[in-house]
Amino acid sequence: MNTNIQKITSQRIGDSYYEINHSTGLKIFVYPKENSHSTYAVFGTKYGSIDNCFKRSDEANIQQVPEGIAHFLEHKLFESEEGDAFARYAKTGASANAYTSFDMTCYLFSCTENLYESLEILLDFVQSPYFTEQTVRKEQGIIGQEIRMYDDDPNWRVMFNLLGALYHHHPVKIDITGTVESIAEITPDYLYQCYRTFYNLNNMALCIAGNVEVDKVCEIADKVLKQSEPVAVDRVFEKEPASIVEKRVEQKLSVSVPLFQLGFKETLTQPRKTLEEVISTELLLYILASDSSLLYRRLLDAGLINEASFGVEYFEGPGYASIIFSGESKDPDEVKKQICQEIVQVREKGIDPIAFERAKKAMYGRNVAGLNSSENIANSMISLFFAGREFFSYLDAIAKADIEQVNHALRTQLQEDSCALSVVNPLDTAKENINE
């Protein structure tokens, strides 16, 4: 087959990986690690829970489908007329799994032996959809139970309650699993429609890291992969206002200490943040709220947070971006107050150069250390590729970041009028005892 292979080497750290443009349209990345005892492979599609409205390049009309189909498809692809993919993996000894996120769906395995047999299984079952009215009805019952379970999960609810408070229209606010009502609308025809649209190899990638040989990967790919039509897919989102929906949202569930998430919504001027912007924000968050920051120490000493749960992340993807602080606290409103005060004070003074250099070294070191993990390499590689970012460029962007970029992020992000607080409080124990 006509397959192009390119070796990409990092001048900064000396590691290399191979980028393979396969003739079927699939992009393959192979990151050999000679001393690795295991190998990790992930086969993914640029298709997640937010992709309920889309337009194919070969069709004139925009398509709208029920919420939760991406996750539903993930479940169904493990089944085939020949049997369950997990049973096939059991014969090779590989440990397999899959996940659906907001913007991608991935199928994966790790193994210490029988790599190429396991790889053949992975590529085969993901390309072999099998849906019937009977199997769809059965899965609707299974996923319906999963949805009800998540409805009672405090960590899940505090997150989606926050996203509902931040976003008016963007589908990131919709539960990844959909709702009991939306999955009831799913039919085999819908599943095949979404499969043929998003599981086109031109919309997918395969990443393998560990004890692996490029030539053997190509042999399996040539044997198993099926030709795809060069169809592109555009995500279609309703315009999202800059404002938030509400400042505070609260729910009571079975927790011993209140959970909180404090989110700062951003207005995007482009579909997705640049890599340099993401790095600047991540450096800013390390300076503001890492376990070496003044804010963290102050909140901890006051008993407002605990070490195990407090954290901050830059939550960004196609059409959305927010900074989210989270944790457990006896007084989430006071935590919010102190975080907002800290942002104002640091903004007035500007980023401390010593803190900036410390953050830069820590972030760079953490990412270099991550190259010791085949799992981390493969998962990072596929998520960066789907975001339009090259793997080694992430390290380069950290090394090249300057303090003015981080000060710009501080001036333009974390605006208090664009923040919302989500809290999950403990149930009323007295009422619970009466009910009992």
Active site residues: 74
Amino acid symbol at 410: L
CA dist., res. 29 & res. 44, Å (int): 12
3-state SS of the chain is CCCEEEEEECCCCCCEEEEEECCCCCEEEEEECCCCCCEEEEEEECCCCCCCEEEECCCCCCEECCCCHHHHHHHHCCEECCEEHHHHHHHHCCEEEEEECCCCEEEEEEECCCHHHHHHHHHHHHCCCCCCHHHHHHHHHHHHHHHHHHHCCHHHHHHHHHHHHHCCCCHHHCCCCCCHHHHCCCCHHHHHHHHHHHCCHHHEEEEEEECCCHHHHHHHHHHHCCCCCCCCEEECCCCCCCCCCCCEEEEEECCCCCEEEEEEECCCCCCCCCHHHHHHHHHHHHHHHCCCCHHHHHHHHCCCCCCCCCEEEEEEECCEEEEEEEEECCCHHHHHHHHHHHHHHHHHHCCCHHHHHHHHHHHHHHHHHHHHCHHHHHHHHHHHHHCCCCHHHHHHHHHHCCHHHHHHHHHHCCCHHHEEEEEEEECCHHHHHHHC
- In what order do the strands lie in the sheet containing 53-56? 63-64, 53-56, 233-235
Amino acid symbol at 288: L
Question: How do beta strands 248-253 and 419-426 pair?
Answer: parallel
CB distance 29 to 207 below 8 Å: yes
